[in-house]
Amino acid sequence: MVRRVAITGLGLVSPFGGSTEDFFARLLAGESCVRHYTTDDKPRALCMPAVRCDRFEPDAVMGKALSGTMDRYAQLGFAAAKEAWSHAGFAVDDKSEKNDCGVAWGTALGGTLAYERGYRDLWQNGRERISPLSVVLGMNNAASAHIAIQFGMGNSCLSYTVACASAAAAIGEAYRRIRTGEAAVMLAGGSDAPLCYGVVRAWEALRVMAPGDTANSSRACRPFGADRGGLVLGEGAAALVLEDWQHAVNRGAPILAELAGYGATCDHSHLVRPDAHGQIRAIELALADAGLRPDEIDYINAHGTATREGDPTEVEALRHVFAEHAPELAVSATKSMHGHMMGASGAVEAVITVLALRQDALPPTAHVDTLDPACTGVRHLLGGALRGSGARVALSNSFAFGGSNAVLAIRTDRNET
């Protein structure tokens, strides 16, 4: 029997600080999390537009002893997972074994800060030894392991690393485990903390980052804009509690939305150049999995990173799949306001999509004054949020280096949920 999958909890570490709902309200207002940022590395600090969760205090969330065993990416992930778990009505201090509950987590880079700190100690500071915690701080499954241990999740502890589609893939694969009856509850999401010297210089070398401009850092990311200059790196985390629908009903949980479909493909063409064909297949698979026609989709939270090649390729895929419905299809790229949080982005954007449907308010693509002619053909939400559209069904797109594509179909019936 194929089971319906309910979304019963949301959690997010907001660069604004404050609650998930507050984060969404500020996105609706077109506010940007992007700031002019200087890395902590001395003496070779880097200045750039970036997104950082400056108000995040890990010791206050999990205690100093536990936070000391985590890299920043895992700290961010644990905090988002804890909020989502509590939001879903589960006790965060209950470590009893839960064999029907599991975790699936995405990260593009894992414990990058821990590894860079170790390399600096060895090669720059001349030390012979590094922290004995380096391996467990840096490993890509650290976040999922900590979440499973602290919440007593005995079903599965899975980690996914497919670049910038990591969190969306983790959510999609968790959804599949519930659909097939392998788990009743899955805590899924993603986190990344890439703001360190080595990672930033690597992304600079690819020539895909938005140029620095101290006076206009908040407007640095302009997806689909004619004058876009590239992506803005950021750190963050988000989590969703996915649950067998009947399981949620039986325990009286509030159902926020339904995760109705998932499509995953590989472009199999190029490591960094996107391919519309692979994206088209991922969108079509998500629609088929959800039993939806293209004309039933009201809104798309686009991958939209503001790169020269990525944006028009995504719009090309949308025009192909949605055909005559494309001009009516509401599309926005919220990375214009929260930046590109790497492996966390798919989870952050899934949370935004759930809230957009629940509140009947679609966030805009901010900062775009003139649309790139190569990106026309869909209904871009420029200039402000769209309220009262009656949107009920949406897709959240995540497309990544390596050609990995992950698309989530989310549906809400405000009367049912």
pLDDT tens digits, residue range 40-59? Answer: 766 667 788 999 999 999 99
Distance in angstroms (rounded) separating the CA atoms of residues 339 and 401: 17
pLDDT tens digits, residue range 283-316? Answer: 999 999 999 999 999 999 999 999 999 999 999 9
Establish whether the linkage from the previous residue to 43 is cis, with ω within 30° of 0.
yes
User: In 316-403, which ranges are E strands?
Assistant: 330-332, 361-362, 379-380, 386-387, 393-399
Buried b (16+ CB within 10 A) or exposed e, 322-343: beeebeebbbbbbbbbbbbbbb
Average pLDDT, rounded, for the chain: 94
- Catalytic, out of 101, 164, 221, 375: 164
- Catalytic, out of 303, 338, 367, 380: 303
Q: Is 303 a catalytic residue?
A: yes
> Residue 117: what pLDDT?
86
Distance in angstroms (rounded) separating the CA atoms of residues 145 and 242: 18
> Residue 42: what pLDDT?
62
> Residue 163: what pLDDT?
96
* Mean pLDDT calculated for residue range 364-376: 97
> Residue 129: what pLDDT?
84
Q: Is 60 exceeded by the pLDDT of residue 31?
A: yes
> Residue 416: what pLDDT?
62
**How do strand 404-411 and strand 393-399 relate by DSSP bridges?**
antiparallel
- Long-range contact list for 87-92, CB < 8 A, 24+ apart? 87/8, 87/9, 87/10, 87/11, 87/241, 88/8, 88/9, 88/241, 88/243, 88/253, 89/8, 89/9, 89/251, 89/252, 89/253, 89/254, 90/9, 90/151, 90/241, 92/150, 92/151
Distance in angstroms (rounded) separating the CA atoms of residues 59 and 185: 27
> Residue 415: what pLDDT?
59
Q: Is 90 exceeded by the pLDDT of residue 220?
A: yes
Which pair of tokens denotes residue 406?
């992950």
Q: Is 90 exceeded by the pLDDT of residue 91?
A: yes
> Residue 118: what pLDDT?
82
> Residue 214: what pLDDT?
61
Q: Is 60 exceeded by the pLDDT of residue 414?
A: no
Q: Which of 211-215, 309-313, 328-332, 392-396 has the lowest mean pLDDT?
A: 211-215
Q: Which of 194, 154, 158, 161 is nearest to 175 (CA)?
A: 158
> Residue 26: what pLDDT?
97
Q: Which of 124-128, 135-139, 140-144, 175-179 has the lowest mean pLDDT?
A: 124-128
Q: Which of 13-27, 30-44, 149-163 has the lowest mean pLDDT?
A: 30-44
> Residue 83: what pLDDT?
98
Banded pLDDT at 318 (limits 50, 70, 90): very high
- Catalytic, out of 87, 340, 367, 380: 340
Contact 284, 256 (CB under 8 A): no
Domains of the chain: 5-250 (3.40.47.10), 261-411 (3.40.47.10)
H or E segment at 64? helix 64-67
> Residue 96: what pLDDT?
86
pLDDT tens digits, residue range 254-264? Answer: 999 999 999 99
Which pair of tokens denotes residue 412?
């809400």
Q: Is 266 a catalytic residue?
A: no
pLDDT, greater one: 383 or 12: 12
Question: Is the full-model pTM beyond 0.85?
Answer: yes
Give the HSE-up count for residue 401: Cα atoms under 13 Å, Cβ half-sphere.
Answer: 14
Q: Is 60 exceeded by the pLDDT of residue 3?
A: yes
Alpha helices in 269-399 (DSSP H): 276-290, 310-322, 335-338, 345-359
Q: Is 325 a catalytic residue?
A: no
pLDDT tens digits, residue range 225-282? Answer: 999 999 999 999 999 999 999 999 999 999 999 999 999 999 999 999 999 999 999 9
Dmax of the chain from CA atoms?
64
